[in-house]
A and B are shown apart, each in its own frame.
Chain A
Amino acid sequence: MPTFVYMTRCDGCGQCVDICPSDIMHIDPKVRRAYNIEPNMCWECYSCVKACPHNAIDVRGYADFSPLGHSVRVRRDEEKGVIAWRIIFRNGEKDMNLLAPITTKPWGKHIPQLADQPAPSKEMRDSQLLFNEPKYIRFDEGALNTLKSNGLKMVSGAEGY
């Protein structure tokens, strides 16, 4: 199924609707809360689960192959830059907590504004180089690889395989 929404926790804020890549989290007009309108188009990607400010969304594995009684919960924290998972098996024998970083930098602060970069020279434009190249390829003084620099040529047909 995929995702489902707990009635008592959802306040209909729509964050899940805003983020769902599959466009399947919608607000039910009667109860004015979110629900999954198309479970067989749900990837269990957890984007909505992570986005929900009330932990109102959970996942029950796909009915055609997942028995009931399991739990995979998550809490994602952009401020702290971590994501915390808890996995509980159906038989209750395994209960795992796993923590992983999601970023090493304050959110969004270290991405350059390319409009503010000095404009590329004509030489750069006519070359094969991209922004920040050649420096960022190897962090040395070397140039971009070409057929010539690497002693290569192109030949047609199976003989070249």
Chain B
Amino acid sequence: MAYKTVVEDGIDVLVCGAGLGGTGAAFEARYWGKDKKIVIAEKANIDRSGAVAQGLYAINCYMGTRFGENNPEDHVRYARIDLMGMVREDLLFDMARHVDSAVHQFEEWGLPLMRNPKTGAYQREGRWQIMIHGESYKPIVAEAAKKSADKVFNRVCVTHLLMDESKENRVAGAVGFNVRTGDYHVFKSKTVVVAAGGASNIFKPRSVGEGAGRVWYAPWSSGSAYGLMIGAGAKMTQMENRIVLARFKDGYGPVGAYFLHLKTYTQNGLGEEYESKWFPALEEMVGKRYLDVEASHRTHRPIPTCLRNHAFINEVNAGRGPIHMVTMEAFQDPHLEEIGWHNFLGMTVGQAVLWAATDVDPKYENPELTTSEPYVMGSHATGCGAWCSGPEDLSPPEYFWGYNRMTTVEGLFGAGDAVGGTPHAFSSGSFTEGRLAAKAACKYIDDGKAAGIRVSDEQINRRKEEIYKPMEHYKIYRNEITAGSVNPNYINPRQGLDRLQKLMDEYCGGVTVSYMTNEKLLHIGLKKLKTLEEDLEKVAAENVHELLRAWELKHRHLTSEAVMHHTLFRKETRWPGYYYRGDAMKVDDENWHVLTVSRRDPKTGEYTMEKAPCYHLIDDKPEAKAA
């Protein structure tokens, strides 16, 4: 293949994927590494890349300690409750204690944060959310990243990490290709911050055609955060913890502002409140520790997202759908009506398009809701990602190995979706994690940990061959057939994606099976994933754009395999409403109040699974505090 090889050498901090996490990393790295070479590789254009490309109407993670609103530990408890206990509280506390400083800088840069005219504090949507006019959130933070970075490589899709050949298990950079020119890009770097995205489109979507693009999480979120790190042999955690979203039907428009600010609420097809009637049985299933209806009522303790999904799913399956969002009351107020529409235009324009197309005016009609297909990510109400070290002043020994946000591969750091066990980071928290990772990466270099890295031409050439194989394959076999897409020697990326989505759906708890799976199904699923892996060696790409899709598919496949293994390992139903293990339908705290950790051996592809202790933050001296 006649593509050029472009080598960028002597990089100190390489940022792979520049959404909110990556822009945070690139921005901050400059402060700690004045003379360091900071480079961004991003498969799109950083002005509009990542999950925040189209904007946001809220920043969902802001403490407001400045206004006396919350302390970091309050947010840790909230995330812990929402995720049924399965979180990394050291990382969460660390993110929460820094996140406000990021938000305050955003405001200084020009991001319009709304203020409460009475208090002067930021306009709260809920306890953790503040409202913004965030159409240009991404271009604004991208400016900050551009000012700090030495070079930004837009349109370079990173496919693999480079590994050091002088020291086992140490990162040495990354490789990829330009999705426009086709050129092969080699980045030799002392450290890498993987800030790529989580995964949409690995479970079969509810949509059947074009609407497959209107996934809840961006269609370009191809699980590359996981694909890259799993491929390099980094340990992963909580990959079973996929998320299902209750959202406006088809458009997947956000409901946060509707529930919290507009005070809309849900009811079933008969116009009844339905959630509470599912709670007694659910209390049995998960235990009083996780759902105590009476206590929730008394103390306003939030009901975990997954459990509210559970009530929704069961009500629909009982034949009392559809579930409606009652908007007709709130929307009589013209101010609230406007907010309702702005909320979509600021972050999910497609929902506004859909309501305009179907003449749904929420002022006169209560719109339908649905539960989505599952998504694998780590910054919303879910915590998939790499097993990372915490900061030294917070982390217990099992969670600490030297550098904040460093994975189990030396020199390889994570931020945003890439870091496991840190749900509810959202945009601001992901940016903050990027900053933390960047500081730690600079320290790692300054400590001399990156000395003597060696990358052979053999490794670079091997990866090059591997990357372009789908195009070679196409060239060789295309002319065996007359025309069309049916070929006995290859599948194209779309065909492979369809197969992946179907098997993940049917064997790993997607929508068509009401999120249900069990050990037998998972074993079959794993087998099918293995044969798909073999066929992905024969995936064919007609052009460079299809090559991008081929590599996104390979990253999605690696992600899916981890999800399947983790789901098999955790023999309980920890998050009813996200998925169900039909053969273990209860929460089992005796055996499973632990975090799940996996490693895929890059040489053999074999998985090993282990349990890691789950630590919680508690008051040091509760008696003294009470007094």
Q: Please list the residues of chain A having a beta carbon within 8 angstroms of any beta carbon in chain B.
A: 1-2, 18-23, 26, 37, 39-47, 59, 61-72, 74, 76, 78, 81, 83, 85, 87-91, 93-94, 96, 98, 100-108, 110-115, 117, 119-120, 125, 128, 130-134, 136-140, 144-147, 150-158, 160-161
Contacts and interface: CB of A to CB of B under 8 A. Distances in A.
Contact of A130 (B28, B107, B355): B28
Contacts of A2: 210, 213
A91 B144 CA distance: 44
Contacts of A43: 53-54, 213-215, 218-220, 350
A102 B98 contact: no
Interface in B406-438: 435-436
Contacts of B105: 132, 136
Contact of A161 (B140, B179, B213, B616): B616
A64 B207 contact: yes
Contact of B148 (A114, A134, A136): A114
A72 B73 contact: no
Contacts of B112: 101-104
Contact of B207 (A65, A91, A161): A65
Nearest to B250: A65
Contact of B357 (A66, A112, A145): A66
Interface stretch (B391-399, B448-456, B468-476): B391-399
Contact of A155 (B135, B144, B615): B615
Given A2-B210, A23-B44, A62-B209, A131 B435 contact: yes
Contacts of B439: 130
A94 B352 CA distance: 12
B490 to A, nearest CB: 19
Interface in B302-333: none
B335 interface: no
B78 interface: no
B621 interface: yes
Q: Interface majority SS on B: helix, strand, loop or mixed?
A: helix
B143 interface: yes
B342 interface: yes
Contacts of A140: 66
A99 to B, nearest CB: 9
B528 interface: no
A114 B27 contact: yes
A61 B133 contact: no
Contacts of A40: 209-213
B296 interface: no
A125 B73 CA distance: 24
A37 B393 CA distance: 51
B617 A110 contact: no
B483 interface: no
A59 B625 CA distance: 58
Contact of B97 (A108, A131, A144): A144
Nearest to B619: A151
Contact of A62 (B47, B85, B211): B211
Nearest to B68: A138
Given A44-B213, A64-B209, A100 B342 contact: yes
A66 to B, nearest CB: 4
A131 B31 contact: yes
A83 B54 CA distance: 13
B281 interface: no
B345 A85 contact: yes
A26 B144 CA distance: 28
Contacts of B581: none
A81 B208 CA distance: 38
B9 to A, nearest CB: 21
B72 A102 contact: no
Q: Nearest 5 pairs between A and B by C-beta?
A: A160-B616, A105-B110, A45-B54, A44-B350, A70-B356
Contacts of B94: 128
A113 B143 CA distance: 10
Nearest to B72: A145
A23 B156 CA distance: 11
A16 to B, nearest CB: 11
A61 B353 contact: yes
A5 B599 CA distance: 46
Given A22-B218, A61-B350, 9 more contacts: A62-B210, A72-B353, A74-B345, A98-B342, A112-B147, A130-B435, A133-B98, A137-B101, A152-B620
Contacts of A44: 213-214, 349-350, 353
Contacts of B30: 114-115
17 contacts: A39-B210, A45-B53, A45-B218, A64-B211, A65-B250, A67-B358, A94-B359, A102-B136, A103-B111, A110-B109, A114-B27, A128-B391, A137-B104, A138-B65, A153-B618, A154-B89, A158-B589
Most chain A beta-carbon neighbours within 10 Å: one of B80, B140, B213, B215: B213
B136 A154 contact: no
B277 interface: no
A154 B357 CA distance: 52
B254 interface: no
B443 interface: yes
A126 to B, nearest CB: 9
A62 B144 CA distance: 35
A81 B394 CA distance: 42
B361 A94 contact: yes
A68 B350 contact: no
Contacts of A108: 143
B32 interface: yes
B354 interface: yes
Interface in B53-75: 53-54, 65-66, 71-73
Contacts of A147: 93, 393-394, 617, 620
A31 to B, nearest CB: 18
B298 interface: no
B233 interface: no
Contact of A128 (B32, B393, B614, B618): B393
Contacts of B487: none
